Amino acid sequence: MQNIEQSYYKRLKGGDKYVIDEIYNRFHFKIFRFSFAFLKNEEDAYDIVQEVFIKFWEKRSSLKDDTNLEAFLFTIAKNTVLSVFRKRSTEQKYLDYLQNTVNSNSSGTKEQVDYVFLKGQYDKLVPELPPKRRAIFLLSREKGLSNKEIAELKGISEKTVEDHITKSLAFLRKHILLFGIWGELFYFVFVD
């Protein structure tokens, strides 16, 4: 087994694109089962498998010859599953908020219109962020990646990631909060 993994490392570092197929064939079902055990959804588990191998390919140059390949892949899988849980938690918080707003307020249509308007403003503001800052912000807010994961992915420090996110949020807060209480609620639920 040790010789197989050493062969993988040499081929990966040599840029052999076919080695990823061999590694995929060897580990994808285990990663699928692992992901499915937590997520209870086949589609999400398949997405995790794909994400794991994309991240693995991106990090291949940082592998050391003594890295336990299976442990490395499962660490990526675990972190990716945790990101999905974080994203679901955020989405659930938003859905709960919307449900409570519609149930507790007879003017639900007005809130929906306000939400659509504010979401449109958000969608217009995000592209105004500088390209690098926008990419980091979207990895954090839409992909659910942690600051550490973004730093590793982008090859920058966690402090730099934190700075970009803080500046992005300040920019959005400045523009979205111009819309009063609905802007504050939208910002709290959707952006923060």
Check residue 155 and give its pLDDT. Answer: 92
Which ranges in the chain are annotated with CATH 1.10.1740.10? 1-85
Question: What are the pLDDT digits (tens) for 157-174?
Answer: 989 999 998 888 888 777
Take residue 164 and report the two structure tokens written for it: 């970009």
Residue recorded with tokens 């499915």: 36
CATH 1.10.10.10 given to domain 105-192: yes
Which ranges in the chain are annotated with CATH 1.10.10.10? 105-192
SS (H, E, C) 70-122: HHHHHHHHHHHHHHHHHHHHHHHHHHHHHHHHHHHCCCHHHHHHHHHHHHHHH
Question: What are the pLDDT digits (tens) for 63-89?
Answer: 777 778 888 888 888 888 888 877 777
Q: Flag whether the pTM goes above 0.85.
A: no
- CA-based nearest residue to 7, from 25, 19, 18, 21: 19
Fold of 1-85: Rna Polymerase Sigma Factor; Chain: A (1.10.1740)
Check residue 185 and give its pLDDT. Answer: 46
Check residue 101 and give its pLDDT. Answer: 56
Check residue 132 and give its pLDDT. Answer: 92
Rounded Cα distance, 150 and 133, in Å: 12
pLDDT lower than 50: segments of the chain: 1, 106-108, 180-192
Check residue 188 and give its pLDDT. Answer: 47
Check residue 186 and give its pLDDT. Answer: 47
Check residue 106 and give its pLDDT. Answer: 46
